[in-house]
């Protein structure tokens, strides 16, 4: 349906062809591509920041303490960062489905999204298990 039927653009002084040009398939594809890159970059930054912070804290704890249980809070925090980064990557996958033109690309996208969703599920479960372990330890002491 043409935009002129949906929106009274001529009242706003906007050219109908300019609006239709802006929403052309190529423009939408370019915009979504930029958004996907931004969202995936955000996910990569979150994951790498979590890994860096976790590693620095791991070294500090490894030098100071002799208990293996001291690493549980560190793993919990790193798991949270990974889960957040995964959410960003899943958002990128969802955005990419808007411009995936072939069945092969959609199939690859589905495989990656399935892996990310499974990992997100396991991470959420492990975070819950580690939190329960921490609470057990703190109530025992």
30 binds other proteins (CB under 8 A): no
d(Cα 50, Cα 56) in Å, to the nearest integer?
A: 10
CB of 121 to other proteins, least distance (A): 11
Phi-psi sector, 13: left (phi>0), alpha (psi -120 to 50), beta: left
Task: Using the structure block, give the residue that is written with the tokens 């396991």.
Answer: 122
- With CB under 8 A as the contact rule, the residue among 53, 80, 126, 131 that binds other proteins is 126
71 binds other proteins (CB under 8 A): yes
14: helix, strand or coil = coil
111 binds other proteins (CB under 8 A): yes
55 binds other proteins (CB under 8 A): yes
Tell me how far apart the terminal alpha carbons of the chain are, to the nearest angstrom.
69
Q: Which is nearer to other proteins, 28 or 60 (CB)?
A: 60
Q: Which is nearer to other proteins, 94 or 111 (CB)?
A: 111
Segment (H or E) for 105: helix 103-140
Q: Which is nearer to other proteins, 18 or 41 (CB)?
A: 41
| Residues in contact with 72: Cβ distance below 8 Å, sequence separation at least 6, in sequence order | 130, 133, 134, 137
Q: Which residues bind other proteins (CB under 8 A)?
A: 37, 40-41, 43-44, 47-48, 50-52, 54-55, 58-59, 62-63, 66, 68, 71, 74-75, 78-79, 82, 85-86, 89, 108, 111-112, 115-116, 118-119, 122, 126, 129
């Amino acid at each position: 349906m043409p935009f002129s039927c949906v929106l009274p653009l001529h009242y706003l002084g906007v050219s109908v062809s300019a609006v239709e040009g802006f929403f052309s398939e190529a423009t939408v594809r370019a915009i979504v591509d930029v958004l996907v890159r931004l969202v995936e970059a955000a996910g990569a930054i979150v994951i790498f920041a979590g890994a860096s912070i976790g590693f620095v804290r791991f070294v500090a704890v490894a030098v100071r303490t002799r208990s293996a249980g001291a690493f549980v809070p560190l793993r919990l925090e790193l798991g949270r960062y990974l889960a957040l980064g995964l959410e960003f990557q899943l958002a990128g996958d969802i955005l990419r489905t808007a411009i995936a033109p072939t069945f092969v690309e959609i199939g690859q996208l589905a495989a990656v999204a399935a892996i990310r969703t499974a990992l997100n599920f396991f991470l959420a479960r492990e975070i819950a298990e580690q939190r329960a372990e921490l609470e057990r330890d703190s109530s025992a002491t």
